[in-house]
Amino acid sequence: MSGPHIYGQSTQVIDVESLTTGDFVFDSLNAAFNKEWNDTTKIKLLNEISWHLTPIDVDKSIVFADSAIKLSEKSDWKIGKADALNNKGEALRNKGSFDEALKQHKLALEIFLELSDSKGEAKTESNIGIIYFNLSDFSQSFKHFDNALDIYKILKNQDGILNVYGYIGVVFSNFKQHEKAIEYFEKALQIAEKMNNNSKIATQFNNLGLTFVEMKEYSKAITYYEKALNEFKKINEEFNYSITLGNIGIPYMELKNYSMARKSFEESLAMAVKLGDQYGVAHQYGNIGELYLKMEGDYYLKLNEKN
């Protein structure tokens, strides 16, 4: 899809026709852009659209982030620019352009440090930690997550603490330090439950499920995935529900419960098709292919045993 067009630095008129999807947030933002706003409000809207687009269309997200950066520079509004740099970094990360993403986040961090904006600093330190994780530089990843965690604790920002605990758990999981990973996922889960945040509760259940799969404790993994599915269902989060359906198929497959594995993969595939999630579609076709290979392998193994 082609990106949206931005005409004229002074008026920031945006062609948002291609974003009209019936989504309430898009509709609200689009309607807002038809009004006369000052530059600060326009930058906030550009950043909001960029952030909203990041998981959907990274190229469009970058276009809006760049527009926010330009208008912020024109208006000399540094916080708006830093937020836009972070948005651009997240979009580039989703695109796999990790080095360029790191550059954007470091530029944002410089601004937040200059402004003594602790909340922005913590968020950006966390973003940098994620990039270093993607680059397999785990010592730097830990360093920046620790920096973020220290700031969030000073600010008593429970949501930030929760997120960083989850990220640290993922790093430990990658090191195969599963007990430490579980410790941090459970810390994150406790905060999510206190906040009554279904989405984040489900995310930590998912993380625990993934960890138990890696530990080959498949029954425990299924239990946690089922809990995640229940939480996502409560809030009608179809995208993550679809991903978790695919996840739960893996331990079923390893336990040779092929009917349940197939059911999970096929339901996840159907949802991915419905949601237009091309990565999810490809991933579930891969899972189904692996399932049939395992089933075929078991079939020939049984034949050989009979002979």
Instruction: Spell out the residues 6+ positions from residue 301 whose beta carbon is closer than 8 angstroms to its own.
Output: none
Closest CA to 55 of 204, 240, 246, 287: 240
CATH architecture of the domain with range 237-307: Alpha Horseshoe (1.25)
Place of tokens 């990843």: 141
State how far the Cα of 276 lies from the Cα of 118, in Å rounded to an integer: 38
Residue pair 191/162 in contact (Cβ under 8 Å)? The answer is yes
What pLDDT, on the 0 to 100 scale, is given for residue 224?
Answer: 98
CATH code matching the domain that covers 1-132, chosen among 3.40.50.720, 2.40.10.480, 3.30.565.10, 1.25.40.10:
1.25.40.10
Indicate where the chain has its CATH 1.25.40.10 domain(s).
1-132, 237-307
Residue pLDDT tens, the chain, 307 long: 222 221 222 222 233 333 334 455 556 565 655 566 788 999 999 999 999 888 878 999 999 999 999 999 999 999 999 999 999 999 999 999 999 999 999 999 999 999 999 999 999 999 999 999 999 999 999 999 999 999 999 999 999 999 999 999 999 998 899 999 999 999 999 999 999 999 999 999 999 999 999 999 999 999 999 999 999 999 999 999 999 999 999 999 999 999 999 999 999 999 999 998 888 999 999 999 999 999 987 665 665 666 5
SS3 assignment, position 91: helix
Residue pair 65/53 in contact (Cβ under 8 Å)? The answer is no
What pLDDT, on the 0 to 100 scale, is given for residue 29?
Answer: 61
